[in-house]
Amino acid sequence: MSTASDQPRAGYFGPYGGQFVPETLMHALDQLATEFAAAMDDADFRAELDRCWRQIAGRPSEMYFARRLTERCGGAQLYLKREDMNHTGAHKINNTLGQALLTLRMGKQRVIAETGAGQHGVATATAAAVFGLDCDVYMGTEDMRRQRLNVLRMELLGARVIPVEIGQRTLKDATNQAMRDWMASCEQTHYILGSVCGPHPYPTMVREFQCCIGREARRQMLAAPGRLPDVIVACVGGGSNAAGIFAPMIDDDVRMVGVEAGGSGPALGKHAATLCLGAEGVLHGARSFVLQDDDGQTAPVHSISAGLDYPGVGPEHAEWKRSGRVTYTSVTDSQALGATLALSQTEGIIPALESAHAVAEAMRRAADMSGDEIILVNLSGRGDKDVTEIAEILERREQSEG
Amino acid sequence: MSIDNNRLVRTFSDLRQKGKSALLPFITAGYPDLDTTAALLAGFADRGVRVCELGVPFSDPIADGPVIQSSYTAALDAGITCEQIFKTVRRFRDATNPAPDGSALRSDLGTATCDLALLAMVSYSIVYRRGCERFCMDAAAAGFDGLIVPDLPLEEAGDFEPLAAEAGLCNVMLIAPTTPPERRYELARHSRGFIYFISVAGTTGERDKLPDETIAAVRELREHTDTPVCVGFGISRAQTVRTVCEVADGAIVGSAIVHRVTDNAGKPRDELVRTVGDFVGELLEPTR
Ligand SMILES: Cc1ncc(COP(=O)(O)O)c(C=O)c1O
């Protein structure tokens, strides 16, 4: 008997992906997939997206040789893809500009988004302001507390930030609420999902909108230093900045490392290392890896960085893990904090706590590699949003150390 | 196993023969506790309910509004697991099934024998984690007759449908207001037991009135299928049950009932069961 699983299906990456959502959303997903496919075949759409990336996001982002950090690690050369220098401060704007243009194409007037670190919320609010769309952003109250600067930015940009008081009051809960909003509003509202997660077509679409990172990085590396890196390192929350830099070089002879949030330890509830420590499961519309208990209930997660504090991960990463194409590892809260200080003080760059996870892994690897090898780090965002939280953590640490 | 002798299928064909429709109460399994769940089921059956839905608590129910969400959270906080729900259903069946000699086996639930058709409303996250085949076998062995997996749309259900059927379970599919016409007929062809027609785009929750389009859409759908059609989401009072049952085979009421369970959660079990049962009795009136 032939079943659906005999053939590769749209929206699947090996056994992962799919559309595990209520019937109410199926029509909207269908419409989105059709519109996205048509847009990608439309030269005018691509030209307009390129223009937005250039004039609004400020692309291309720099490729930067981190000389003093390299010296400090005493090994491989460290290059940084400077997504932190994009307008709004992270890679998230690449995706929201693409989805906002799609929103216009679909004739919808309102967008909604979930946000953890607030970067995706700010990027959505920015795109909404540029194109004159109504914008509501769902955010857990714990994240509103630790990313207060971004809450204020969203409000200044004219978006409404809707506090989410359920569950752990972080990214997963904000995503639930955004999906519930969309259940009732999908005829007039587009849901701008912020990572390569969720039901098809989101994982494919968000990856495509983030691939500008990897395409530029490839070109820039070939120009100077004149060859591709030996290793690319990126942090993985849902996995969009990582997918964006990996995918355009996936067929090249380059090792790739995804870095998850190791939090404060390997016990369930203490980390957000979904691929490293989770199991196959279904969450937010896709079959992938998840952190859940034996009964299929989503587990609590923890990370110092709100943007990595999520119990799921994009299905294409699950497939890259399965095939062995990408290696996944994790970095703890305190290692990420250490990397934040190191990068700030050697290069004058305060990284987002999310991106600091990638920096920490790169520093660890660089020390064991030779001086003619190259590690490219996707520096996905800047740390302005994190400074008060970091200051508080350092203060608490000083107090407890007496 | 086949579903020909499935209790849900039998119940709806009996109702159709008699020209009647059904009220399908939904309650959250294990809320506020498992014994209350069993007692509520028995109480509903006593009052004439023929089909009932049990919601399996889930941490991330995106199709549910605040009332059902918080009942799920409370049940999970109390440590309710799938295994415990299966055991409770098994116990309910053992306590209410007719013994071979025709007498009631026993009556610790204080009820006569009954043949209540039971459905589990369960997220695919939970089903997948247990293993689809194992989940279906365990649910059937516990005494469930059907499954509603609200986050398993047609495109993903290909492998699941035969597993449910082999276990003797009806896999009930949902149609939404946003579902295009051709797809409605396709879903109707796949659905077993009945078709769950979602009355409003959005999450579960009490609403005063259903959109007029819903009634017309259900009438239209019934011209295309022999499978019974039940309408749910947003129904909260007897008057709406009456309107729905003029065109549908059944009306599903969830949040309005769960909300009354919540209001009475601190009271003695008998009183909770009686109060909630009285409300279900009111909702049943239009189906008599
Ligand atoms: C700067 C930054 N990097 C990384 C992430 C994690 O998301 P993703 O894994 O989709 O890149 C976030 C999310 O908020 C972020 O703000």
Ligand 1 centroid from CA A101, angstroms = 21
Band (pLDDT 50/70/90 cuts) for residue B99 is low
pLDDT of res. B105: 44
Residue B216, chain A, CB below 8 Å: the answer is no
- For A60-89+211-401, give the CATH class: alpha beta
Catalytic: which of B14, B33, B60, B64?
Answer: B64
Q: Which of B126, B154, B176 sits opposite A295 (nearest CB)?
A: B126
pLDDT of res. B109: 60
Q: Look at strands B195-198 and A231-235 and give their pairing.
A: unpaired
The enclosing H or E element of A401 equals: none
pLDDT of res. A4: 44
Q: Look at strands A63-65 and A189-191 and give their pairing.
A: unpaired
DSSP secondary structure string for all residues of A215-265? HHHHHHHHHTTSS--SEEEEE-SSSHHHHHHHGGGTTSS-EEEEEEEEET-
Set of chain A residues whose Cβ sits within 8 Å of the Cβ of B174: 22-23
pLDDT of res. A77: 98
**Interval A39-57 mean pLDDT:** 98
Residue of minimum CA distance from atom 7 in ligand 1 = A237
Set of chain A residues whose Cβ sits within 8 Å of the Cβ of B152: 20
Q: What is the pLDDT of residues A179-221, one digit of tens each?
A: 999 999 999 999 999 999 999 999 999 999 999 999 999 999 9
Tell me if residue B33 falls in helix, strand or coil: coil
Averaged pLDDT score across all residues of chain A = 96
Q: Do domains A14-54+92-205 and A60-89+211-401 have the same CATH topology?
A: yes
Q: Whole-angstrom Cα distance, residue B240 to residue B242? A: 5
Q: At residue B236, what are phi and psi to the nearest 5 degrees?
A: -135, 0
pLDDT of res. A208: 98
Burial class (CB in 10 A: 0-12, 13-18, 19+), A366: buried
**Interval A8-12 mean pLDDT:** 84
Q: Whole-angstrom Cα distance, residue B66 to residue A158? A: 27
Whether the pLDDT of residue B106 is over 50: the answer is no
Averaged pLDDT score across all residues of chain B = 94
Ligand 1 close to Cβ of residue A198 (< 6 A): no
Q: Give which of B138, B151, B204 to mutate to test A binding, by max A Cβ within 10 Å.
A: B151
pLDDT of res. B110: 58
Partners of A82 in the beta sheet? A379
What topology does CATH give the domain A14-54+92-205? Answer: Rossmann fold (3.40.50)
DSSP state letter for A2: -
Q: What is the pLDDT of residues A51-87, one digit of tens each?
A: 999 999 999 999 999 999 999 999 999 999 999 999 9
Residue of minimum CA distance from atom 12 in ligand 1 = A307
The count of other CB atoms within 10 Å of the CB of residue A138 is 24
pLDDT of res. B4: 79
* Among B180, B188, B246, CA closest to B215: B246
Q: How many residues does chain A have?
A: 402
Contact assignment for A296 to B203 by CB distance below 8 Å: no
The verdict on whether B53 is a catalytic residue reads yes
Whether the pLDDT of residue B133 is over 90: the answer is yes
Whether the pLDDT of residue B187 is over 90: the answer is yes
Q: What is the pLDDT of residues B16-65, one digit of tens each?
A: 999 999 999 999 999 999 999 999 999 999 999 999 999 999 999 999 99
Radius of gyration of chain B (CA): 17
Chain A's closest residue to B159, CA to CA, is: A3
Chain A's closest residue to B81, CA to CA, is: A295
The CA distance from A180 to the nearest CA of chain B, in Å, is 6
Q: Whole-angstrom Cα distance, residue B120 to residue B52? A: 9
Domain definitions of chain A by residue range = 14-54+92-205, 60-89+211-401
What percent of chain A clears pLDDT 70, i.e. is strictly above it? 98
Q: Whole-angstrom Cα distance, residue B112 to residue B3? A: 26
CB B121 within 8 A of CB B94: no
What percent of chain A clears pLDDT 90, i.e. is strictly above it? 96
Which residue range is the domain that position B19 belongs to?
Answer: 3-287
Q: Whole-angstrom Cα distance, residue A380 to residue A399? A: 31
Q: What is the pLDDT of residues B194-236, one digit of tens each?
A: 999 999 999 999 888 888 899 999 999 999 999 999 999 999 9
Q: What is the pLDDT of residues A93-145, one digit of tens each?
A: 999 999 999 999 999 999 999 999 999 999 999 999 999 999 999 999 999 99
Query: How many domains is chain B partitioned into structurally?
Result: 1
Residue B158, chain A, CB below 8 Å: the answer is yes
Q: Where are the beta strands (DSSP E) in chain B?
A: 22-28, 51-55, 117-121, 146-148, 170-172, 174-175, 195-198, 229-232, 250-253
Indicate the angle between helix axes B132-142 and B82-96, nearest 10 degrees: 30
Band (pLDDT 50/70/90 cuts) for residue A402 is low
Q: Starting at the earlier edge strand, list the strands of the sheet with A110-115.
A: A160-164, A134-140, A110-115, A189-191
Whether the pLDDT of residue A333 is over 90: the answer is yes
Token digits of residue A207: 């990856």
Residue with tokens 């997939």: A33
Q: Whole-angstrom Cα distance, residue A47 to residue A27? A: 28
The CA distance from A284 to the nearest CA of chain B, in Å, is 8
